[in-house]
A = this chain, B = another copy of it.
């Protein structure tokens, strides 16, 4: 039923020449902010960052658990993952979703322990980057060091924006923003930006947006009635992209004025 689109599959065959493909795929974030910026020598360093390639996980399996000692960063190779943050009071919250090319474990650098679970939402694979090794390489390859800082800083910015979103925005704005961002992220990976397969459950989305599953469901329905998206189980089609981003950002003061 949702066969026409499958973001679980990478746009190029990553298994053919893994060393090379990692440079183009998994480690994109770490390595290729500005393509061509690397010398062959740099690339040698980068390739050496990866210890184990394409570790396989089945849907539902944990890549790591909250509380586990932090030793590696992981680059998502295939599939999708959710990060489940365990709050200081024990409450769980889905802090983010990761797809091919994303880095997992960055939030653990601070205290050498994973603050969150990483759970596979689909069968998938990851590459392993021993962090000690990354640090050492960063010390020698300035670009890697800079890029590491940048990745952290970017994630920081994202969480900042995210905090704003959770605090201020309405359910519709949050969901629209969520879809909008997913669309952008998929597009950046070569997938359709209008036809999204959401590998996570409504409950996961709800948790991520700090809403209830009921509200998420209602808001999906609402966006559908307004002709912005079409929903069919796990697949969402963005019908009116402009309308979506309108609903995502909205005016500075989203009062009842905007409902007329």
Name A residues whose Cβ lies closer than 8 Å to a Cβ of B: 85, 87-91, 93, 95, 106-111, 115, 135, 138-139, 142, 145-146, 148-150, 152-157, 159-164, 166-168, 209-210, 249-252
Contact = CB atoms under 8 A, between A and B. Distances in A.
Main secondary structure of the interface of A (DSSP, over half): helix
A107 B191 CA distance: 30
Contact of A156 (B146, B152, B164): B152
A185 to B, nearest CB: 16
A210 B168 contact: yes
A252 B156 contact: no
Contacts of A88: 161, 249
Given A85-B164, A109-B152, A111-B153, 19 more contacts: A90-B252, A91-B252, A95-B163, A107-B156, A108-B153, A110-B150, A111-B154, A111-B157, A115-B157, A115-B160, A135-B149, A139-B139, A139-B142, A139-B145, A152-B156, A163-B210, A166-B166, A167-B209, A168-B210
Contacts of A209: 167
29 contacts: A85-B164, A87-B164, A88-B161, A88-B249, A89-B250, A89-B252, A91-B168, A95-B160, A95-B163, A95-B164, A107-B153, A107-B157, A107-B160, A109-B149, A109-B153, A110-B150, A110-B153, A110-B156, A111-B154, A135-B142, A135-B145, A135-B146, A139-B145, A145-B145, A152-B152, A156-B156, A156-B159, A159-B162, A168-B210
Contact of A145 (B108, B138, B157): B138
A224 B14 CA distance: 61
A163 B109 CA distance: 19
B153 A106 contact: yes
Contacts of A150: 109-110
A91 B164 contact: yes
